């Protein structure tokens, strides 16, 4: 499969099944997704996401081999994602604090009205503004985190994920934004299918969580692949990144 052939949606959806042993990989991924409230599965999935991002145009679905290397990569990837979502988390904490303060003082938070914020009390207006800011900031943080994670995946350098010039140049690209929107739509579609699947499997104990995990893992993998092949190519080549990793003695042997 060539790079051009796999950019159509049908090929993207079928990409995970082109690998030998993909059912085993999907099962492991489903189990990890089903146990996501635990920290270790989240770290391993973050590391696996980096492996998917590092897969070349002709590469097939990566597996979960070398868990130690996967965990090390996942810890770095999780740090990047958390760092980019931290401002939104802090904003949400401030909003929660404002809501609690408003309730304590007998001024419950109110939604924005056509008459504007002037019609609200000071605490309610502040809470509404913070709620709107959080709603806007969350997808922006997700977009920047994806760009930053890809920068790390292609260079194997944590500093690349926090390079302002690098991130700004890529984030302002229309092609990059379109690729991210496509991946987001695929993720949303997988979420809808997962919800419907959970409702269908609700009568069979233990099956629902695993089925939902499988759907979410498969959808997430396809979304990452769609983002990877649709976004503008990085200037860092696969060979140069591999050489950099060898010189640093990186524990993760996946190609960049």
Residue with tokens 């996501």: 36
Inform me whether the pLDDT recorded for 30 exceeds 70. Answer: yes
The packing angle between helices 39-54 and 122-155, to 10°, is 50
How distant, in Å, are the alpha carbons of 4, 23, 133 from that of 204?
Answer: 42, 21, 41
Average pLDDT over residues 62-75: 94
- Give the per-residue pLDDT at 3: 42
| This prediction's pTM | 0.77
104-163 pLDDT tens trace = 555 554 444 444 444 445 555 666 676 667 677 888 999 999 999 999 999 999 999 999
Query: b/e for 90-113, b at 16 or more Cβ within 10 A?
Result: ebbeebeebbeebeeeebebbeee
């Amino acid at each position: 499969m060539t790079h051009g052939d796999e950019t159509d949606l049908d090929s993207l959806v079928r990409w995970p099944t082109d690998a030998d042993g993909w059912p085993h990989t999907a099962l492991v991924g489903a189990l990890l997704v089903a146990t996501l409230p635990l920290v270790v599965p989240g770290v391993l999935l973050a590391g696996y996401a980096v492996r998917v991002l590092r897969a070349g145009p002709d590469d097939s679905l990566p597996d979960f081999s070398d868990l130690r290397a996967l965990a090390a990569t996942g810890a770095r990837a999780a740090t990047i994602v958390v760092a980019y979502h931290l401002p939104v988390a802090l904003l949400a904490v401030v909003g929660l604090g404002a809501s609690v303060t408003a309730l304590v003082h007998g001024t419950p938070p109110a939604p924005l009205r056509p008459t504007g914020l002037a019609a609200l009390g000071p605490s309610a207006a502040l809470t509404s503004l913070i709620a709107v800011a959080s709603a806007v900031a969350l997808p922006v943080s997700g977009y920047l985190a994806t760009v930053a994670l890809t920068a790390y995946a292609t260079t194997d350098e944590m500093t690349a994920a926090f390079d302002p010039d690098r991130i700004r140049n890529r984030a302002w690209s229309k092609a990059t934004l379109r690729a991210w929107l496509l991946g987001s739509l695929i993720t949303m579609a997988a979420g809808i299918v997962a919800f419907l699947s959970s409702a269908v499997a609700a009568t069979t104990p233990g099956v629902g969580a695993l089925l939902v995990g499988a759907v979410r893992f498969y959808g997430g993998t396809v979304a990452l692949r769609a983002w990877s092949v649709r976004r503008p190519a990085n200037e860092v080549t696969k060979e140069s990144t591999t050489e950099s990793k060898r010189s640093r003695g990186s524990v993760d042997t996946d190609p960049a």
